[in-house]
Amino acid sequence: MDKHEEVAVILAVDDVDKLSLPLRRRFSLEIELAVPSLRERIEILEIIFKNCKNVDSDAILNLASNTHGYTGSDLRCIQKLVFAAGLDVDKNVLKDRIVDATKKIRPTGIREIVLEVPDSVLWPQRFPESFARFNIPAPSGILLYGPPGCCKTMVARALASQSQLNFLAVKGPEVFSKWVGESERAIRDLFRRARQVAPAVLFFDEIDAVAASRGDKNSGVGDRVLAQLLTELDGLEKKCGVIVLAATNRPDMLDGAILRPGRLDKTIYVPLPDADARYPISLLFLLFCLRNLRPSFFSNRPCIGSKSILSLQSKNIDRCDYIEELVERTEGYSGAEVVAVYRCAALVALKEDKNSVFLERKHFMAALSQVVPRTESRLLALYKNFKLGHCI
């Protein structure tokens, strides 16, 4: 690079701190691409929908205003959902599809869970004067716990979307580094980035990896990372506008200090989906992955949330009258396992006939014999005991 000054070099990197210093100093300009702001989302959407005559400026502004925390790729996914059933649609129908596409980020079967947290996430943002009147700080953090595959990450994204906050996510194991002090700095940088885009939701997936009980693994690094995390959680004056969400499958492994008031002071159990939740999960898979749904199914659909909201007429679905049976047969399955059943059924159908466009009952029965629920009763009992001891 020093020998070719006439050549301009542009470098893209996920973490600039991971670059070696001799290389980094040769780049005189550093530009951080953060989560898009409202104005930036409008510009992105104008590019995405530039060839769509039926999408006017009002529709783009409305969509941008309701997609806080979305990245450019997220907005592209919305565009794909909107035109999943074809490009030639009426303007009013197109607006309805845009609304439905943004709502589909909300996971099914968690309506009661989302209703539990308005006082923790929405109220401090919508009614700050009420909190100031009583001189009380906004809740610091929320812990989501439950079996694997039950959409805990999707719950966090739904809360960020509903509260119109920016969303930053990290998996616990990603924090650790082999270099001394780097893991602690990663925690500091996460909160720094969250403060830069505040109001924001900072989501820690697999929080037990960085907040395990001290001394359990004889890891000095783990203890230092936990200490740094607790320090950031306690720094309310520096963490203004940042809500911390965390998810774990093993709440019993967490250090008790992180669950004290002022830190992750609210716990929410995300259970296995019941029948009313598994029904829309099944229909969502058929909606996006199968070709046995007519185009009329894509238009004028209410927000996916429960069986009663869906109220789909059988004429909209060809040869899928066995969905009720599948819902009953998947009792005890997690949301991810229910989806795995449908994917397995699709593979069975393709092995039988590569030109197949329908899934029949026999395909699902074969899939159910291969995909079995893996949530142990011991784990469910553990969640029950934890809930009894941490009811807030």
Pick 273-292+317-374's CATH classification: 1.20.120.1810, 3.30.460.80, 3.40.50.970, 1.10.8.60. 1.10.8.60
Exposed, middle or buried: residue 83 (CB in 10 Å: 0-12, 13-18, 19+)?
Answer: middle
Pick the residue with more confidence: 181 or 300?
Answer: 181
Are 292 and 357 contacting, i.e. CB atoms less than 8 angstroms apart? yes
Non-local (6+) Cβ contacts of 338 within 8 A are 273, 278, 281, 282, 285, 330
Band of residue 200 on the pLDDT scale cut at 50, 70, 90? confident
Residue 318 has what pLDDT?
41
> Is the CATH number 3.30.70.100 carried by domain 119-213+220-272?
no
Quick count: other Cβ atoms within 10 Å of Cβ 192? Answer: 12
Pick the residue with more confidence: 49 or 301?
Answer: 49
Exposed, middle or buried: residue 57 (CB in 10 Å: 0-12, 13-18, 19+)?
Answer: exposed
> Is the CATH number 3.30.1490.190 carried by domain 38-104?
no
**Nearest CA-CA partner of 224 in 277, 188, 273, 264:** 188
User: What is the mean pLDDT of the segment spanning 265-279?
Assistant: 84
What's the rounded Cα separation, in Å, for the pair 241 and 214?
29
Residue 220 has what pLDDT?
74
Q: Which of 92-101, 125-134, 155-164 has the lowest mean pLDDT?
A: 92-101
Q: How many CA atoms lie within 13 A of 218 on its CB side?
A: 0
**Nearest CA-CA partner of 371 in 327, 338, 322, 332:** 338
Q: Which of 94-108, 201-215, 285-299 has the lowest mean pLDDT?
A: 285-299
pLDDT at 114 > cutoff 80? no
> In the chain, where does DSSP find H-type helix?
21-24, 38-48, 57-65, 72-82, 91-103, 111-115, 123-126, 128-133, 152-162, 182-196, 220-234, 275-289, 307-310, 323-329, 335-352, 361-370, 377-389
pLDDT at 230 > cutoff 80? yes
**Nearest CA-CA partner of 151 in 105, 118, 116, 119:** 105
3-state secondary structure at position 301: coil
Q: Which of 65-69, 73-77, 229-233 has the lowest mean pLDDT?
A: 65-69
pLDDT at 391 > cutoff 60? no
What's the rounded Cα separation, in Å, for the pair 153 and 203?
8
Residue 207 has what pLDDT?
92
Instruction: Give the Å distances, CA to CA, from 17 to 24, 72, 182, 359.
Output: 9, 23, 10, 49
What's the rounded Cα separation, in Å, for the pair 365 and 264?
43
- The model's pLDDT over 140-152, given as tens digits with 9 standing for 90+, comes to 788 999 998 887 8
Domain ranges of the chain: 38-104, 119-213+220-272, 273-292+317-374
What's the rounded Cα separation, in Å, for the pair 369 and 176?
39
Sequence length of the chain is 392
Strand partners, 219: none
Intrachain domains 119-213+220-272 and 273-292+317-374 with the same fold: no
Residue 251 has what pLDDT?
92
Task: Note if the pTM is more than 0.75.
Answer: no
- The model's pLDDT over 348-388, given as tens digits with 9 standing for 90+, comes to 988 988 887 677 788 888 999 999 998 888 998 999 888 88
Structure tokens at 33: 């691409």
Band of residue 306 on the pLDDT scale cut at 50, 70, 90? very low
User: What is the mean pLDDT of the segment spanning 7-22?
Assistant: 80
